[in-house]
Amino acid sequence: MITKAHIDVKQDAKSNNQPIIKIRNLRKAFGDNVVLNGFNLELYEGENLVIMGKSGSGKSVMIKCLIGLMQADSGYIEIMGKDLLSLNQVELDKLRTEIGFLFQGSALYDSMTVRENLEFPLRRHKHKFGPIEDTTPLVEEALKNVGLLDAIDLMPAELSGGMKRRIALARTLILKPKIILYDEPTSGLDPITSKEIIELMRNIQREYRTSSLIITHDVDCARVVAERMILLVDGINYAEGTYNELASSEDEKIKAFFKQ
Ligand SMILES: Nc1ncnc2c1ncn2[C@@H]1O[C@H](COP(=O)(O)OP(=O)(O)O)[C@@H](O)[C@H]1O
Ligand SMILES: [Mg+2]
């Protein structure tokens, strides 16, 4: 259900804020395969924006261009007011500490305990927090956020698939990112575990007021999470709106998403 509260948040976000991420006219082709053909997006502060598209439609390519893992052919990308392509390596690294990722393949280090897995990003990004004498409070806070404090001394092999995904989310949260990018956060999980992850994403959003970009082909995930949605079709932002607005569209290409 999209409640009135959600819609108000969305409109407040739109009217009061500059977008925290702005993508303009993004293009990317692999040979003859034109994947992104002028894609636009604005993510506003504090909102949950879902990008829905069929498998192979270019969702992951878009997010890889956004974080600089892949180079777009052309287009403009701005994150927190900075032109991504104009940044040097130091500036880019600094910006990246403000962005958390939860990718399907965001695997934990198998040879490290849960605690050590969570300490890893803190050490890697020392410049954000300065030297931390005792990481335990931060690790414990992050684990509490995903309801897995008891797992602190376990090895990844001792965790279920759903628990691993939650620990990966805790590892993302420990850096207190302003933006979280989720690429198919529920894929490969059973429906009950998926629901738990979706619920966690919503709680995190509420508690920390992070801005989230959620990529999914899962209509149920979109329905529960999205304050606003963009449909990626034919390489462009084909349609935008709330779940209810899009689900009641008469457009054939839009209807195809909701027929299940
Ligand atoms: N590194 C690559 N080299 C060539 N083609 C690629 C590469 N990455 C993705 N593609 C192609 O781009 C298209 C979109 O892929 P992707 O963004 O992964 O889709 P999805 O929407 O499922 O995430 C697909 O046709 C895929 O084959
Ligand atoms: Mg993908």
What CATH number does residue 213 fall under?
3.40.50.300
In this structure, are 114 and 60 located in the same domain? no
Q: Say what the pLDDT of residue 220 is.
A: 87
Among 143, 176, 209, identify where a domain stops.
176
* Residue 63 Cα: closest atom of ligand 1: 17
Question: Containing domain of residue 165, as a range?
Answer: 107-176
Q: Say what the pLDDT of residue 106 is.
A: 65
Give the total number of structural domains in the chain: 2
In this structure, are 86 and 184 located in the same domain? yes
Among 176, 205, 230, identify where a domain stops.
176
- Residues in CB range of 179: below 8 A, 6 or more apart: 20, 21, 43, 79, 80, 98, 99, 100, 210, 211, 212, 213
Triad 217, 20, 248: Cα angle to 5° = 40
Among 149, 176, 203, identify where a domain stops.
176
* Residue range 185-207, pLDDT digits in tens: 988 888 888 888 888 888 888 88
In this structure, are 15 and 130 located in the same domain? no
Q: Say what the pLDDT of residue 93 is.
A: 84
Residue 131 has phi, psi (to 5 degrees) of -65, 130
In this structure, are 142 and 212 located in the same domain? no
Give the pTM: 0.88
Q: Which residues of the chain fall short of a pLDDT of 70?
A: 1-17, 105-106, 260
| Cα of 170 from ligand 1 centre, angstroms | 28
* Residue range 75-119, pLDDT digits in tens: 999 999 999 989 998 898 888 889 998 887 668 999 999 999 999
Choose one of 27, 32, 35, 65 to mutate for the ligand 1 pocket test, by most ligand atoms within 8 angstroms of C-beta: 35
* Residue 57 Cα: closest atom of ligand 1: 21
In this structure, are 71 and 183 located in the same domain? yes
In this structure, are 172 and 188 located in the same domain? no
| Cα of 216 from ligand 2 centre, angstroms | 8
In this structure, are 165 and 203 located in the same domain? no
* Residue 53 Cα: closest atom of ligand 1: 21
Give, as residue ranges, everything with CB less than 5 Å from ion ligand 2.
Answer: 59-60
Choose one of 61, 62, 67 to mutate for the ligand 1 pocket test, by most ligand atoms within 8 angstroms of C-beta: 61
Pocket of ligand 1 (CB under 6 A): 30, 33, 35, 53, 55-61
Q: Say what the pLDDT of residue 5 is.
A: 45
Q: Say what the pLDDT of residue 1 is.
A: 43
In this structure, are 196 and 145 located in the same domain? no
Q: Say what the pLDDT of residue 206 is.
A: 85
